[in-house]
A and B are shown apart, each in its own frame.
Chain A
Amino acid sequence: MNRRDLLKAGLVAVAGMVIPLNALEVFDDEAKAAVKAAIEMVPKKRRWAFVVDTRKCVGCGMCVKACKMENEVPFDADVSRTWVERYVVLKDGDVLIDSPKEARYGYTKNDPMGREIKEDEIAKGFFVPKLCNQCEKPSCVQVCPVGATYKTEDGVVLVDRTWCIGCGYCIMNCPYQARFFHPVYNTAEKCTFCYHRITKGMKPACVQACAFGVRKIGMLNDPNSEVFQIVMNERVMVLKPETGNEPNVFYIGLDKIVR
């Protein structure tokens, strides 16, 4: 192999490497747009969103009671569309988490996980209300084999009770375990943001029942809504962002031990 051949081979190799790189640039704008869309706070479409201010929650469980009554989930059944968790961190580092009876009777005793705890043992503690996150990319909807669950145009995920076959795949795929089987209809059941209320201009039952202003609902792309103001001006967090589901329930005052 002489020098000329070597040069030729080198040029071909370089050209070969450059062409695919150039080809990628075609996608550059698209890629930028995709990244931009992923980090934008406010979606372009109409979206119902929820804010939970965990700093204000006292754990009375009135929201759970209201939800179960409103949405006809049997009150004595051990499942619920919304629930309140109690987190207690002890000074020795132990973390106690519980949610007895989904907190439908509230918290009236200092007995996390059934343990009697003295006040001076506790480092910190708080309550975290949970509900369906009405994800932007709901993994539960993605896996429904029959199209019995879907996302409405305003971003609420609903279940068709007349079409659900009860396979439980959506329940397995919800990172937040917001889904369960309805004990009466035997179909997948979940929080609807009280779709029958919000579409009539009312607030969801849990929001109305909360006397402490923990729960707020509004349109995420409506600059006049309180939810928009909070999401844009305060430091909010979502649960399990690593799943890529892009939840539409935003939390204020979330601790790292909350899952």
Chain B
Amino acid sequence: MTEVHGQLWTIKQLFTYPNEYIYWTVHIALYPYITGLVAGAFVLSSLYHLFGKKELRPVSRFALVFSFALLLVAPMPLLFFHLLHPERAFNVFFTPHYYSAIAAFGLVFSVYGLIVASEIWFAYRPHFIAQSQSRKGIMGLIFKVLTLGSYDLDERTAHIDEKAVKFLAAIGIPSACFLHGYVGFIFGSVKTVAMWKSPLMPVIFLMSAIISGVALCIWTYILGMKFFRREICTDTVRSMGRVLAWFIILALTLEMLDFVFHGYTAEESWSILSKIIFGKFKFKIFVLQWGLGMLLPIILLFIPKLSTIRAFVASTCVLIGVWMMRWDVVIGGQSMSKSLAGFMKYKMPIWPHTFEEFREGLFSVILLLILPFIFLCIFNKFTPVFTEKKCNFDTEEAH
């Protein structure tokens, strides 16, 4: 039999249209997840650069560089694993159709990538210049390229750099919000999928993006400090924890509001949508996404005197919870048939026997989740992220 795209992992129940399969699979859940981490990490770094939250200084550069590492991975699940014609991926840049949320995403994404890259360049310029003059061989050459041919380094240029970082952080925040709000729009504007169709979708995605990004920064900061055997700054962790907790409350409120609205207005699709929310996905939504991913972290973070281990547990829970949210939205939304008379079950391929099973399966997901950390390790060679030896927030940066 000729295998149809989607047949491998879709189990149909009751009546679904013949052409109906789960066409958007795990990679479409992964793509907003990583994009969210990008936006969240960037917002965290901007809290220091723009609003001068001094206790966040130890993580500000790390968050910025990590944001860039994640940014490079963010489109990969979409472009290389989801598209059936990845070789045509650049058509989005060649003949963009801006009525489509995905085409506009290409533009927003590129602009945002340039902002982050420029901010890193301004922040690390003195480092690049110093390294390009002291290092030899290939590394020296790479650093020479990274300086972009500019070797001016005095008080005046340092002042300009500082201003540029501030400016880029300032325009970076709205574009980070725009970037991830846009991802929400990609889903929220699909009028045929009842679970997605909601004007709240962009805001919901934005809030969950921020919490996942902050949580990942806490998580990686704690692990990174342990790994390098450095002191973990309690004030830094607590400050990040406070940001995280308040944004979780916002995110939870919006997500609940969305469901309440679907239920209260009870449009035609609600009869079947409610069977998804309160039936097939009740454990995933209420226990994992909200209970484990939001309520538990709120409690853990709001108990006074936040300890490192508590912050670590809370941020792990948030990361799982936000992943479940992406899963519930992408897979849950498609689980109900557009015929309103049937369901589809998604069964992700685990052990790959064919290339298709690898591409759409668990191992490509694991690969994509490891990739940002590999990028971070590589970037760390050029833009060292943990430069602070001690937790002293009052002195100026030691560069």
Decide whether A and B are members of one complex: yes
Instruction: Find B100's partner among A101, A169, A171, A181 (CB 8 Å cutoff).
Output: A169
In the complex, what residue of chain A is closest to B78 when comparing beta carbons?
A167
Given A76-B1, A97-B341, A181-B84, answer yes or no on A173-B192 (Cβ-Cβ < 8 Å).
Answer: yes
B338 contact set on A, CB distance < 8 A: 175-177, 259
Instruction: Find A186's partner among B24, B84, B103, B105 (CB 8 Å cutoff).
Output: B84
Instruction: Find A181's partner among B5, B78, B340 (CB 8 Å cutoff).
Output: B5
A142 contact set on B, CB distance < 8 A: 99-100
- Minimum-distance CB pairs A-B, first 4: A166-B84, A145-B103, A177-B17, A145-B102
A163 contact set on B, CB distance < 8 A: 88, 91, 95
CA distance in complex: A95, B271 (Å): 15
- The interface of chain A, by Cβ under 8 A from chain B, is 74, 76-80, 83, 85, 95, 97-99, 101-102, 113, 130, 139, 142-148, 163-169, 171-181, 183-184, 186-187, 242-243, 259
B396 within 8 A of partner (CB): no
CA distance in complex: A79, B12 (Å): 13
| Most chain A CB atoms below 10 A, which of B1, B4, B20, B99 | B4
A-facing residues in B183-215 (Cβ within 8 Å): 186, 189-193
- The interface of chain B, by Cβ under 8 A from chain A, is 1-7, 14-15, 17-21, 23-24, 78, 82-86, 88-89, 91-92, 94-97, 99-103, 105-106, 186, 189-193, 268, 334, 338-342
B340 contact set on A, CB distance < 8 A: 259
B83 contact set on A, CB distance < 8 A: 165-167
Q: Verify B23–A97 contact, CB threshold 8 A.
A: no
Given A142-B100, A146-B97, answer yes or no on A183-B5 (Cβ-Cβ < 8 Å).
Answer: yes
A166 contact set on B, CB distance < 8 A: 83-85, 88
- List 15 other contacts, CB 8 Å, given A76-B1, A168-B84, A187-B85: A76-B2, A79-B18, A83-B17, A85-B15, A113-B15, A143-B100, A143-B189, A167-B83, A169-B100, A171-B23, A172-B334, A177-B339, A181-B5, A186-B5, A243-B191
Q: Verify A144–B100 contact, CB threshold 8 A.
A: yes
Instruction: Find A80's partner among B1, B19, B21, B193 (CB 8 Å cutoff).
Output: B19
B108 to chain A, nearest CB (A): 12
Q: Verify B97–A172 contact, CB threshold 8 A.
A: no
CA distance in complex: A148, B88 (Å): 11
Q: Verify A259–B23 contact, CB threshold 8 A.
A: no
A46 to chain B, nearest CB (A): 23
Secondary structure dominating the interface of B = loop
Task: Please list 27 pairs of residues, one from A and one from B, whose beta carbons are closer than 8 Å in the complex, sorted by A's number.
Answer: A76-B1, A77-B4, A78-B4, A97-B15, A99-B15, A144-B100, A145-B102, A145-B106, A146-B103, A147-B97, A164-B88, A165-B86, A165-B92, A166-B85, A169-B186, A171-B19, A172-B193, A172-B334, A177-B18, A177-B19, A180-B5, A183-B4, A186-B5, A187-B85, A259-B338, A259-B339, A259-B341
A148 contact set on B, CB distance < 8 A: 91
CA distance in complex: A171, B17 (Å): 12
B76 to chain A, nearest CB (A): 14
Given A80-B19, A145-B106, answer yes or no on A172-B2 (Cβ-Cβ < 8 Å).
Answer: no
In the complex, what residue of chain B is closest to A258 when comparing beta carbons?
B339
In the complex, what residue of chain B is closest to A242 when comparing beta carbons?
B268
CA distance in complex: A163, B2 (Å): 23
| Most chain A CB atoms below 10 A, which of B1, B18, B24, B83 | B18
| Most chain B CB atoms below 10 A, which of A139, A172, A184 | A172
A83 contact set on B, CB distance < 8 A: 17-19
Instruction: Find B102's partner among A139, A147, A167 (CB 8 Å cutoff).
Output: A167
B84 contact set on A, CB distance < 8 A: 165-166, 168, 181, 186-187
Instruction: Find B341's partner among A95, A164, A176, A181 (CB 8 Å cutoff).
Output: A95
In the complex, what residue of chain B is closest to A171 when comparing beta carbons?
B23
In the complex, what residue of chain A is closest to B106 when comparing beta carbons?
A145
A99 contact set on B, CB distance < 8 A: 15, 17-18
Q: Verify A77–B2 contact, CB threshold 8 A.
A: yes
Q: Verify B339–A97 contact, CB threshold 8 A.
A: yes
CA distance in complex: A77, B78 (Å): 26
Given A95-B341, A172-B193, A173-B190, answer yes or no on A186-B15 (Cβ-Cβ < 8 Å).
Answer: no
Q: Verify A175–B7 contact, CB threshold 8 A.
A: no
